[in-house]
Structure 1
Amino acid sequence: MNAAPVTTSRTSVTDRLLAGVERIGNRLPDPFILFLLLFAAVAVASTLMAWANVTVTVPGSEEATAIKGLFTAEGMTWLTTTLGANYLGFPPLATVLPILLAVGVAEKSGLLAALIRRAFGAAPRWALPYAVGLVGVAGSIMADAAFVVIPPLAALVFKAAGRHPVAGLLGGFAAAGAGYSTSMLVTSLDALFAGITTAVTGALPNPGAPVNPLSNYFFNVVSSGVLILAAGFLIDKVLEPRLVKQGVARMESEESDDGDGTSSQGAGAGTDGQAALDPHLNPLERRGLRWALVIGAVVALVIAVGSLLPDSPWRNEDGGFLPASPLLSSIVFIVFVLFVIPGLVYGRITGTMPSASDIPRVMGLSIKEMSGFLVLAFVLGQFIALFNWSGIGNWIAVAGASGLESIGLTGYPAILAFIALASLLNLFIISGSAMWTLMAAVFVPMFALLGYEPAFVQAAFRVGDSATQVLTPLNPYMIVLLTMLRRYEPSAGLGTVISRMLPFTVVFWVAWVAVLTVFYVFDLPLGPGNGIFIQ
């Protein structure tokens, strides 16, 4: 009899907490102004540190590096000569823009709507959040492309099933971001982390078992399963009910008209969001979808065969694909052609894109929808470039590592403190490889002296590396997400995004730490030949 009131009370407290986070977050300036202010803050801080001759010694480096200030002769020269390069070199642009062009063709031709109606129109509604969790957590195989591809597709899937598309949009991003460091598949990130760890262990007197891309595989598989279930549960029981309670619109506030009266949603998509519930396609749509899938499969086969040939130019110098290779660097191209070519085939057969002139038109519409991000990317690019050039990011990481080392914790509490530090630093240093390079040089030797395998320290880092990156405005893909969200909620701000990502961060962090704790307590192997303690 007392269960319901307790649940209601807890729900009320949670709602008030999240509403408070959203309210405070939305009081922040517009993202453009916010990053302009952050740029100014870093400019002033870096200059003061430069005048004070502050230096940072990156672990593994023999010489100290001086912090460079913007308001110095060197800094002003750097800014005036690199302003354009800072913008055009902003890393997400190279991922976001090509994929937006490709997805725009597939969406506005009607291919995505038809494919989703066919695949998910008759699927059980309850299973969709868990499907989004699966695709999101496994999406790291696409690297950064996952942040651009998965959220809008998840929104379309939810809409096709009559569920709230914003739940799919935000849930897809949360699963892809908060679970970025783990996957049921071996990815380039596994190889990258293993390479960094191996480089650090070379000088250790007792380095433990060798670290390779499979060293965390068992841990990753279990973690992935737990995070998929957690993501599905949160989307279904927390995120979507809260969106409904808040009255968030189920339809985009503005839909692009592509000039002939056809909605930008493509063939088969209804104007009230309900027509897409019908999984049945008319004969022309079925023919277009069939040929689009056939041609898409042929393109994928050509790419696979071309990559697997013994002398393939898409292999690395060692003849493989990991940790780096032209194939892995071609992910954006692969995603591009697998959206564009089938989209063109579908559009030509169904008549939604009958002429070649439709291609630049629909691509232009896609860019128009993301024009706000392109403007914001200018100041984002300047901020990220200054943050990296000044050396403040390295200084923060090294200072944090030194602080934790000075505490003198031992045993498993030291591992938990290490995870918490990684989560905190992840708010400032988004690149997992860059942060692991800095932290591994300090903590792998330190924990090796305490008897922990380098592979275990690497697994602990993975927990802290992912969970909080969906909370920080320094993650440029959060700005991409905000741009997508504003199609449904024009008044949404960073506080809106952060408040809706917070439950995912907290639950993912706790669940992931719990998985690591189980491996630790029962001394389970993290991967083939890699355990917890150095033997």
Structure 2
Amino acid sequence: MNSSSSQQKKSMIDRFLGFVEKIGNALPHPATLFAGFAFGVVILSWVFSLTGLSVQHPGTGETITVVNLISQDGIYLMLTKLVKNFTNFAPLGVVLVAMLGIGIAEGSGLIGTLIRILVLKSPKSIITFVVVFAGVLSNTASEVGYVLLVPLSAIIFLAFGKHPLAGLAAAFAGVSGGYSANLLLGTIDPLLQGISQEAAQIIDPAYSINAACNYYFMFVSTFFIGIAGTIVTEKIVIPRLGEYKGDEVAEDIHPLTKLEKRGLIYAGIAALILTIFILVGIIPENGYLRYSADPEDIFKSALMKGIVSWIFIIAAVCGIAYGKGSGTFKNDADIMKGMGKSMETMSSYIVLVFFAAQFVAYFKWTNLGLICAVKGAQFLETIGLDKMPLLICFIFLAALINLVMGSASAKWTLMAPVFIPMFMLVGISPELTQVAYRIGDSVTNIISPMMSYFALIVAFIQRYDKNAGIGTVIATMLPYSIAFLIVWVVLMAIWLMLGLPIGPNSPLHYIPN
């Protein structure tokens, strides 16, 4: 690539990003957006109620009309249900509970140590794959990958004689571009599941979605994203960057200390005990974790139904064990500090949820979501798109919205009440719709200036290239974004052709009862 061509491409990227950044900065805070949306729903309910807008429910045949919230009944409903809308909003409790456990594991140093040992113990020949793979795994705990693995990977690549920005890019691609893939369930799973379930119940009030509904697909995706990220790094990013000629000197990567090793042993023992407890409770037919209305159905057991509780318990117990062994936890106050710190990071999310919960409730009460779904489904039937092209269009839409609206939960709270019911009416399950959304939401994270850690990545890059800016990040990360999008769309198409379930008790198709 000659210098003039390179400058021209960077200039085009900078112009595009400048436009996106300008639009994104002009938007209000997400909480303010949802407050506005809630107010807008109230006004629209009044307007459309005057027009007599109605549809026929495709399942029951019942005529659905718009419920006016600017009425005695509507005002009473909004005032008396405001608190319950907030406290009963499904994603709120599950995310806070999971984050309490993650906070203990993170505060003890367990998560950071596990990521470090995964990277440090790998041979040089596969270090790129390990960095990308570790990045994907690190998104189980929100901040660790960004603040620890991304800068550490640059140091590791420099120590191995590779360009440090290639290591930084590989880690960032895994952490943020592969955000929805993982071998483990993370806080994003119950968060999106709760929003999806509320949206699905607009069509089917009895519809239930479990937090592991995308697990099979995302488990397999982890390896494909790891391989795709490795190929992009080795074949595109490293050749493009060339030899590193900056001022930074390679640093020694220190091995684990005796205390950290002892902490891992303690955590391993705790994990083993928990594993035995779970196996003993779930394998026997009368096991204590099989208790449910249908003991034969393991997906309705206390293990699967209580998956959020297990995320909390496993993270908390292993984190405490590591903290005691490594000495990072001296007493119970240290444990509580870890939980408290995780809640500090959730404060803005709680504010956002308050307004998002009102919007979702109003959207459901007014029947606007159901009417939009029926009208949308009728339109989709007229254009005759098959399920796969329809899902691909939806993936692109989610990816584009992600460029100007960074919060995964905020976008899904806005999109789910419209698209999940709409797609259910053309036979696409809520679980599959959620998979499509997660793909679109992930692939453009690494090129979106609205992503909360984007500025941090720019700062990391400038350590190795003083003249680097936002355009540098975009130019470096764009190949990952395109590659991940292609890989995930192809994988989803194959998955649909084979008719494989995307998670436990999670179908591809929706068939009305």
Residue type of the alignment partner of 1:388 = K
Question: Is contact 1:166–1:488 with CA below 8 Å preserved after alignment?
Answer: no
> Equivalent residues in 2 for 1:50-69 (5 A)?
50-69=49-68
Residue matched to 1:401: 377
Change beyond 3 A, Cα 1:101–1:459: closer
Q: Does 1:306 align with 2:309?
A: no
Change beyond 3 A, Cα 1:86–1:221: closer
Change beyond 3 A, Cα 1:514–1:101: closer
Residue type of the alignment partner of 1:76 = I
Shift of 1:291: 1.2
1:343 aligned residue (290, 315, 319): 319
Residue matched to 1:377: 353
Question: Is contact 1:321–1:327 with CA below 8 Å preserved after alignment?
Answer: no
Task: Give the match's secondary structure for 1:56.
Answer: strand
How many residues align? The count is 430
Residue type of the alignment partner of 1:172 = V
| CA deviation vs aligned residue, 1:449-498 (integer Å, no higher than 9, x gap) | xxxxxxxx99986774443345999xxxx9x974x7788899xxxxx9xx
> What do you get for the CA RMSD once the two structures are aligned?
5.1
How far apart in 1 are the matches of 2:179 and 2:354?
25
> Equivalent residues in 2 for 1:143-222 (5 A)?
149-155=140-146, 156-162=148-154, 171-177=174-180
Residue matched to 2:268: 293
Residue matched to 1:141: none
Shift of 1:346: 2.4
5+ unaligned residues in a row in structure 2: which ranges? 156-166, 205-213, 240-249, 402-410, 460-469, 502-506, 508-513
| CA deviation vs aligned residue, 1:307-345 (integer Å, no higher than 9, x gap) | 222113533544445654432221211111211112222
| CA deviation vs aligned residue, 1:387-409 (integer Å, no higher than 9, x gap) | 23322222222222211222356
| CA deviation vs aligned residue, 1:349-400 (integer Å, no higher than 9, x gap) | 3332222233323322221233222222222222222223322222222222
Question: Is contact 2:263–2:322 with CA below 8 Å preserved after alignment?
Answer: yes
Question: Is contact 1:133–1:171 with CA below 8 Å preserved after alignment?
Answer: yes
How far apart in 2 are the matches of 1:363 and 1:221?
28
Residue matched to 2:112: 113
How far apart in 2 are the matches of 1:218 and 1:116?
23
Question: Is contact 1:151–1:172 with CA below 8 Å preserved after alignment?
Answer: no
> Equivalent residues in 2 for 1:241-390 (5 A)?
278-315=253-290, 316-321=292-297, 324-390=300-366
How far apart in 1 are the matches of 2:51 and 2:154?
60
Residue type of the alignment partner of 1:420 = C
Normalised to the residue count of structure 2, the TM-score between the two structures is 0.66
Task: Give the match's secondary structure for 1:314.
Answer: coil
How far apart in 1 are the matches of 2:353 and 2:237?
28
| CA deviation vs aligned residue, 1:208-229 (integer Å, no higher than 9, x gap) | xxxxxxxx99999987654454
Residue matched to 2:423: 439
Q: Does 1:30 align with 2:5?
A: no
Shift of 1:84: 1.2
Residue matched to 1:41: 40
How far apart in 1 are the matches of 2:489 and 2:319?
42
Shift of 1:279: 4.6
How far apart in 1 are the matches of 2:64 and 2:478?
36
Residue matched to 1:17: 16
How far apart in 2 are the matches of 1:64 and 1:35?
29
Residue matched to 1:82: 81
Question: Is contact 1:347–1:353 with CA below 8 Å preserved after alignment?
Answer: yes
| CA deviation vs aligned residue, 1:44-67 (integer Å, no higher than 9, x gap) | 112212232322334323212222
How far apart in 1 are the matches of 2:286 and 2:310?
20
Question: Is contact 2:177–2:484 with CA below 8 Å preserved after alignment?
Answer: no
| CA deviation vs aligned residue, 1:118-156 (integer Å, no higher than 9, x gap) | 2323445522453057548xxxxxxxxxx7x34434333
How far apart in 2 are the matches of 1:390 and 1:472?
33
Change beyond 3 A, Cα 1:325–1:386: farther
Please, which moves more after superposition, 228-237 or 376-385?
228-237
Task: Give the match's secondary structure for 2:279.
Answer: helix
Please, which moves more after superposition, 338-347 or 53-62?
53-62
Change beyond 3 A, Cα 1:507–1:65: farther
| CA deviation vs aligned residue, 1:486-535 (integer Å, no higher than 9, x gap) | 88899xxxxx9xx9899877655544444567799xxx74459x9xxxxx
Shift of 1:28: 0.5
Q: Does 1:131 align with 2:133?
A: yes
Q: Does 1:416 align with 2:405?
A: no
How far apart in 2 are the matches of 1:395 and 1:507?
37
Q: Does 1:95 align with 2:94?
A: yes
Normalised to the residue count of structure 1, the TM-score between the two structures is 0.64
Shift of 1:162: 4.0
Change beyond 3 A, Cα 1:97–1:408: closer
How far apart in 2 are the matches of 1:372 and 1:519?
37
Residue type of the alignment partner of 1:439 = F
Residue type of the alignment partner of 1:85 = K
How far apart in 2 are the matches of 1:117 and 1:372?
29
Taking every aligned residue pair, what percent have the same amino acid on both sides? 26
Change beyond 3 A, Cα 1:237–1:330: farther
| CA deviation vs aligned residue, 1:386-436 (integer Å, no higher than 9, x gap) | 223322222222222211222356xx6x85246425765997765879955
Question: Is contact 1:69–1:390 with CA below 8 Å preserved after alignment?
Answer: yes
Change beyond 3 A, Cα 1:319–1:504: farther
Question: Is contact 1:39–1:386 with CA below 8 Å preserved after alignment?
Answer: yes
How far apart in 1 are the matches of 2:478 and 2:43?
31
Change beyond 3 A, Cα 1:508–1:121: closer
How far apart in 1 are the matches of 2:287 and 2:266?
29
